[in-house]
Structure 1
Amino acid sequence: MKIFDFQSTTAIQRLFLLRTIAIILQLSSVIAISLIMSLQIPLLPLLIIIAIETAFHLLSIFYFKNRTANHKGILIQILADVTFLTILMYFSGGATNAFVSLLLMPIVIAAVSLPTRFLLLISVSSVLAYTGLLFNMPTHSMHHMDMSNHFIGMWANFLLSVIVVTFVVGAMANAITSRERLLAAQREEQLRKEQLLALGVASSQVTHQLATPLGNLQLLFDELIEDYPNDQAVLSMQHPLKQCTSQLGYFRTLATSIRENKTEVYVIKELIEQLRDCVQLNFPNVNLNIILDDLLEQHKIEADAMLLPALLNLVQNAVKANEDNNSQDIELNAYIHANALNIKLRDFGRGISTKQISLGQQLVKSETGLGMAVLLSNSSLERLGGSLKLYNHTKQGAIAHVSLPTV
């Protein structure tokens, strides 16, 4: 048998559950007081108010069945509870009602569900409701029983309770919410680090496993080139083998640099020129339009060997995005803002979807892959104290916005 998990429900669902219980208790109390205890209360007005509250409750449940309640929606619901409770108290003794302190309940609910400004609004509404009930008490309650000082004292006690609940409970709820957000962010960061570690381990294993067969192919090629120096099939193997050997050596250099935590200071213009050369080498058909700020000459950045591959990964993604739109243009805009190097890399593709906005933060499955290149680029940039943001251009294509601190 599945036990109801109160913590797994949303704020609006918890509010509806508490209101359902409240309506049942209200109806039971009114019937019990009128029939069993034989006390004189305006039965018909109270039943009409409870009926209206029930109708409002059912309409609210139906309205939020397929909708997500925002803070304003919850605020309206809690203000409605304050209103219904105040009217019930008005017809059943006002401030002399023993249950008048229930006006604190909406404040408690607001303290754990709403921002501070909305919590203050609920608190003020409850205090005004209690004050209105105090000034509209029956005359005999104030004079015949000579209880005016007692009721004013109850009002003062209620006001003090409201202040305590508003500030103490509200502060505790905000602290708990902030801690939960921090823990959630840490869990996501830990998961991302585990994914990156798994990718790193897999890459190292593949590189290690490729080294031996690549060495064997190189030996075989050396023998073939000696026996058949003019054979076109043999000659066509030379460039791919050289590329594989070069990339394998480059990967080992990167791994050593990361392991030893080696960094160097880059002149920004020289870094952009290196990136331009890599783009021309790897994507000769791409038209890379570079726009540089004059302030770049006055700044430098400190980075490791993974910076250039991280930027090249973003260029590769831009090239893939352009292929979907039969475009060859890529725009790179580099400038200095707030003591940081900003690089905006724009493609002229079809843009990115809402799902792809989270690329770089987590693996996102799509027709073209899992976004591992962007994830690795973002990880490299964050390790250097930078950041990566993806968003669509106002006219066409998408922008990868890189920010790195200058030295």
Structure 2
Amino acid sequence: MNPSLLAAQTGHSHLRRLFLLRNWAILAQLATLALVHRFLSTDFAWLPMLGATGLLAAVNLLTWWRLSLDFPVGNPELFLQLCADVLALTVLLYYGGGSTNPFVSLYLLPLVIAAATLPRRHTWGMAALTLACYSLLMVWYVPLPNGGSAHAQHAAVTGTTVTDAAVTDMAQMDHSHHRMDAAPAAPQPVAPLPAAPLEDAFNTHVIGMWLGFVISALVVAYFVVEMARAVRLRDAQLNRAREETLRNERIVALGTQAAGAAHELGTPLATMAVVIGEMRNECAAPEQKNNLNILDEQVKNCKRILDGLLSHAQEIPEELPAEEFIRKVLDEWQLLRPTAHYRFRTGELQPAPRLRADPALRSALLNLLNNAADASPEEMDILLRRDNGNITLEIHDHGPGLTPDAAARAGSAFFTTKQDGRGLGLFLANATIERLGGSVRLFNRKDGGATTELILPVAREVA
């Protein structure tokens, strides 16, 4: 499967799951707000909290419309979707007690989703966003109503502790009592009261929750990302192995049919050769004789190809100098395409590399040359050079180039841009060259035309 197509399908799948999960989250938020209003308190800031949930619902409606489009869903879009969830949760927590709210641990959900579906940089970005929101809620938030005495509410607003407020009141009361007495003694300073154990424990608990979130965020952002990356890599390898297996099965099926066709075509070709010989002996016109000679040569080429299928099946490929092998293939191809014109050049080939003269490689080269000749039969440039321990053959045509669809699907079985094509030439050539340890790449050149780049490993070198 095309990697870009696979990525697009995966992005749509992730966005669809996020859309369904957000529906449940919106219902859970509305249910929680209703239960709080019914059983706990009515003194919350309901308008901004309901507004945050409503905006999240509007975002989900846009997401539902987005899923109906055919445009691919990229990682930045998924990251922005998760950012919207984090911001909506931050607004709800701000008006619901900030970091003292037990639902503050929900910040881990978008972080885990990002770690499982997005690359490393997006996951660390989500970790930074959730940690920043959590840290801000440690300082700025609206306290929970009915969460303590009037001193506690005042402390939440002014930043002083409940213990400090209590000490101040008691000192004022003691000072008033001494003023009412007639005794001239000056008022004695009041010793500060010891800190309330429950309040210290609660503050320690809130700070511990924050530290636990920091540790959890770091662990998720690192280990879960690495595990998700390993899973994606394994899935990609399984997909490639599955595609190679299917391709090999097709090649085996085609090979079986080709062997049967080679056996069956022997008799018709022999009959055609006899008829052509008789017609040539009886024909007196020079032009017709010339046409019959060309036809006879093509029949002989067909017989030679069929004989090669049978003779090379049990032979061990020999090693030949790369330039000699390529020139032999070009000479054979010129007999098959006498109207095609090409220029052959060689680059640096020292020390002289050698290739395994595999018959399948010869057929693959013929297919690649035919494709280039179909695009521009009047002019072709062929360059053979050595590059970092490999042999590189470049076939430059001067045709219209590759369309985006052809560039994306080139090499797929039964895909062709020709009216009378079968979509097997490039498919078989690519499979053969990959089996030999090489690769084929097609791309457009800036100055026009397309290039077929063939890279093969060197069998050995000759000084």
Q: Classify the TM-score, shorter chain.
A: 0.7 to 0.9
Distance 1:115 1:127 in 2: 19
Distance 1:99 1:273 in 2: 75
Superimposed CA distance per residue, residues 30-88 of structure 1 (whole angstroms, 9 cap, x where no aligned partner): 12211344453221221122222223333344355423221111111112211111121
Distance 1:156 1:43 in 2: 30
The counterpart of 1:321, out of the listed 345, 366, 375, is 375
Q: Are 1:185 and 2:240 counterparts?
A: yes
Distance 1:186 1:194 in 2: 12
Distance 1:164 1:158 in 2: 10
Spell out the pairing of 1:211-226 with structure 2 (5 A cutoff).
211-215=266-270, 225=278
Normalised TM-score (structure 2): 0.77
- Secondary structure, aligned partner of 1:389: strand
| Equivalent residues of 1:351, 1:398 under 8 A apart | yes
Residue of structure 2 equivalent to 1:268? 322
Residue of structure 2 equivalent to 1:359? 410
Please tell me the residue identity of whatever aligns with 1:41. Answer: F
Distance 1:294 1:402 in 2: 16
Aligned length: 392
The RMSD of aligned alpha carbons is 2.8
The counterpart of 2:354, out of the listed 266, 279, 300, is 300
Gaps of 5+ in 1: 1-6
Please tell me the residue identity of whatever aligns with 1:275. Answer: V
Change (3 A) 1:39 1:289: same
- Secondary structure, aligned partner of 1:135: coil
Residue of structure 1 equivalent to 2:380? 330
Bigger-Rg structure (1/2): 2
Distance 1:300 1:94 in 2: 73
Please say which of residues 228-237 and 120-129 is displaced more in the overlay. Answer: 228-237
State the shift of 1:165 in Å: 2.3
State the shift of 1:241 in Å: 5.5
Please tell me the residue identity of whatever aligns with 2:208. Answer: G
Distance 2:281 2:261 in 1: 33
Distance 1:298 1:399 in 2: 24
| Equivalent residues of 1:16, 1:57 under 8 A apart | yes
Distance 2:254 2:379 in 1: 31
Residue of structure 1 equivalent to 2:92? 88
Residue of structure 1 equivalent to 2:101? 97
Spell out the pairing of 1:6-405 with structure 2 (5 A cutoff).
10-63=13-66, 65-66=68-69, 67-136=71-140, 138=143, 143-144=161-162, 145-146=198-199, 147-215=202-270, 225=278, 230-232=281-283, 240=295, 243-260=298-315, 262-295=316-349, 298-322=352-376, 328-357=378-407, 358-366=409-417, 367-405=419-457
Q: Percent identity?
A: 30
Change (3 A) 1:101 1:258: farther
Please say which of residues 158-167 and 144-153 is displaced more in the overlay. Answer: 158-167
| Equivalent residues of 1:11, 1:113 under 8 A apart | yes
Distance 2:333 2:300 in 1: 20
Please tell me the residue identity of whatever aligns with 1:80. Answer: A
Please tell me the residue identity of whatever aligns with 2:118. Answer: L
Please tell me the residue identity of whatever aligns with 1:92. Answer: G
State the shift of 1:405 in Å: 1.2
State the shift of 1:342 in Å: 1.0
Distance 1:372 1:78 in 2: 45
| Equivalent residues of 2:269, 2:303 under 8 A apart | no
Distance 1:56 1:230 in 2: 84
Normalised TM-score (structure 1): 0.87
Gaps of 5+ in 2: 1-9, 144-151, 163-197
